Amino acid sequence: MKIGFDNDKYLRIQSEHIKERIAQFGDKLYLEFGGKLYDDYHASRVLPGFKPDSKLRMLMQLKDDAEIVIVISAEDIEKNKVRGDLGITYDKDVLRLRDVFTDRGLYVSSVVITHFNGQASAIAFRQRLERLGEVKVYYHYLIEGYPTNVSLIDSDEGFGKNDYVETTRPLVVVTAPGPGSGKMAVCLSQLYNENKRGLKAGYAKFETFPIWNIPLKHPVNVAYEAATADLNDVNMIDHFHLEAYGQMTVNYNRDIEIFPVLNAIFEGIYGESPYKSPTDMGVNMAGFCISDDEVCSEASRQEIIRRFYTAVCSMVEGKDNDMEVNKIKLLMQQMKLTTADRRCTVAAKERKEESETHSAAIELADGTLITSQTSPLLGPSAALLLNATKHLAGIDHELKLIPQNMIEPIQWMKTSMLHGNNPRLHTDEVLVALAVLSQHDENCRRALESLPLLDGCQVHATVMLSEVDRKIFKKLGCGLTTDPVKK
């Protein structure tokens, strides 16, 4: 995979910048983490070289000074809201995140349940956490007129009504399973309550995207708009920053729209606001770590097309997301992109036309295109894995890695014993078969050892794949798209 982002530099300068922001405020800094603190796969796709756990690794450099507060909305608990990329509910993700952080040596001090209004499911979740006995749990309540009713918000009936979250370290990282959890409100509530106790605490925001110091229409920033098309986020020039400093910077609509209200809340707490613009509030240094702009630009263009395919496939599956699809179409037009700009898509469709059956293609790191087609034994994605690993391992394409007499019993089990309709092997079944054969077959062993070389490669199939196949490509680090065609 071509690298366009200096991850080591990022880890170094990002932690240094956060230390400087802590020093600016004195006693304590509440740092709101937007996006994914852990497993940020979007960032790793559009900034090749950015590791999915980079932000977590950066925090580990500050672990002696940091504690983590995880925020979850009572409304999301009640609705059993699911994190789309992982397929688990937000309440389960809170437990997962707590384990991930503590396993890395980070201190998770508490969980805050926001938007609390007596929901029984939220009370049950609190009791569950308290039985575990490892973190404290607090309630923050709905405030009528939030965020515009500043006089009520900055009062004992507003922020003062919330539970005071006890913290002990100078850096308090506030994170959540997903957007809309109430992270900012938790930070602001803590500023109010810290100030009442005579402690000077500050607030800053860590949003990786949009990147404030690259152009508004840079592909990396446009890819962020595509990623948040379901929220209808729009990147904008931060006119507050332009007016205050004469410098052109990029932010997104919600932060710019809410900034006057935040300013008023800051003034209510401190007597004056420490910031002149939304950009001032941020601490993100990712823009300084782009080492190859064209690599990141091309990766972002591919991400925009990938997001388009994901959205149209969701529509075919019954999701009411016309607005999301139309928004991404518009972004593609603005960037002068079509699906033909995805080389593996073109190759897969050409193979389909030749074979008259569903096909797939992968673009390897060196630009080589490998294709496959559906056969009586294998689906297109399983065949593609075999073809790609044979190429990477230097194995003759005509050689059958998995003999037919091994595939047929697996097919019999799937159809006769498990009553399945599709006898063809999926990607996971092919990989298991390769693993078994690799104990005695040198070619199978070499094919398996080439799998890490698929990380960062682009894949397209002319038919929507099973959940199993999608997950395998994701685990291998491949950027997968499919035509919106059901089997």
The verdict on 36 and 161 lying in the same domain is yes
Angle between helices 442-449 and 380-393 (to 10 degrees): 100
Give the pLDDT confidence score for residue 406 in this predicted structure: 86
Say what the pTM is.
Answer: 0.88
In this structure, what token pair is assigned to residue 89? 């509910």
In this structure, what token pair is assigned to residue 318? 């019954």
Closest to 109 in 3D by CA, of 161, 185, 182, 186: 186
Give the pLDDT confidence score for residue 245 in this predicted structure: 97
Burial, 274: exposed, middle or buried (Cβ in 10 Å; 0-12, 13-18, 19+)? middle
Please state the rounded mean pLDDT for residues 46-58.
Answer: 91
In-domain check, residue 304: no
In-domain check, residue 248: yes
233 band by pLDDT with thresholds 50, 70 and 90: confident
Whether the bond between 210 and the residue before it is cis, its omega within 30 degrees of 0, is yes
Q: Mean pLDDT over all residues of the chain?
A: 93
362 band by pLDDT with thresholds 50, 70 and 90: very high
Listed residues 244, 259, 289: the one ending a domain: 289
Give the pLDDT confidence score for residue 116 in this predicted structure: 96
Reported as a single tens digit per residue, the pLDDT across 234-291 is: 999 999 999 999 999 999 998 999 899 889 988 888 888 999 999 999 999 999 999 9
% pLDDT > 90, the chain: 75
In-domain check, residue 164: yes
Classify the C-alpha dihedral 147-222-472-464 as positive or negative: positive
Task: Give the three-state DSSP class for 206.
Answer: strand
Give the pLDDT confidence score for residue 232 in this predicted structure: 84
Reported as a single tens digit per residue, the pLDDT across 411-440 is: 888 888 888 888 888 899 999 999 999 999
Beta bridge partners of 482: 461
Q: Which residue has the tokens 């437990």?
A: 95
For residue 39, give the CATH number of its domain: 3.10.630.10
The verdict on 36 and 141 lying in the same domain is yes
CA distance 120 to 311: 34
Task: Give the three-state DSSP class for 345.
Answer: helix
Listed residues 228, 261, 289: the one ending a domain: 289
pLDDT tops 80 at residue 487: no
Given the DSSP bridges, would you call strands 88-89 and 171-175 parallel, antiparallel or unpaired? unpaired
The verdict on 113 and 175 lying in the same domain is yes
pLDDT tops 80 at residue 177: yes
Give the pLDDT confidence score for residue 230 in this predicted structure: 87
pLDDT tops 80 at residue 1: no
The verdict on 278 and 424 lying in the same domain is no
The verdict on 217 and 363 lying in the same domain is no
- Residues with Cβ within 8 Å of 439's Cβ and at least 6 positions away in sequence, in order, are none
In 161-238, which ranges are continuous DSSP H helix? 183-196, 219-227
Reported as a single tens digit per residue, the pLDDT across 54-101 is: 988 898 999 999 999 999 999 999 999 888 767 789 999 999 999 999
CA distance 402 to 431: 10
Give the pLDDT confidence score for residue 14 in this predicted structure: 94
Give the pLDDT confidence score for residue 275 in this predicted structure: 94
In-domain check, residue 464: yes
The verdict on 223 and 371 lying in the same domain is no
CA distance 378 to 407: 9
The verdict on 275 and 380 lying in the same domain is no
In-domain check, residue 227: yes
Reported as a single tens digit per residue, the pLDDT across 306-320 is: 999 999 999 999 988
Whether the bond between 215 and the residue before it is cis, its omega within 30 degrees of 0, is no
Task: Give the three-state DSSP class for 443.
Answer: helix
The verdict on 385 and 284 lying in the same domain is no
The verdict on 113 and 184 lying in the same domain is yes
Listed residues 249, 271, 289: the one ending a domain: 289
The verdict on 362 and 259 lying in the same domain is no
Closest to 459 in 3D by CA, of 296, 306, 301: 306
| Angle, CA 57 vertex, CA 458 and CA 17 arms, to 5° | 110
- Residues with Cβ within 8 Å of 205's Cβ and at least 6 positions away in sequence, in order, are 31, 32, 34, 184, 255, 281, 282, 283
The verdict on 24 and 155 lying in the same domain is yes
Angle between helices 219-227 and 293-316 (to 10 degrees): 20
Give the pLDDT confidence score for residue 358 in this predicted structure: 97
For residue 432, give the CATH number of its domain: 3.40.140.40
The verdict on 371 and 460 lying in the same domain is yes
CA distance 423 to 404: 13
Number of independent structural domains in the chain: 2
31 band by pLDDT with thresholds 50, 70 and 90: very high
Reported as a single tens digit per residue, the pLDDT across 321-351 is: 999 999 999 999 999 999 999 999 999 999 9
Residue 141: which domain range?
7-289
pLDDT tops 90 at residue 298: yes
In-domain check, residue 309: no
In-domain check, residue 80: yes
Q: How many residues does the chain have?
A: 487
In-domain check, residue 130: yes
Give the pLDDT confidence score for residue 417 in this predicted structure: 85
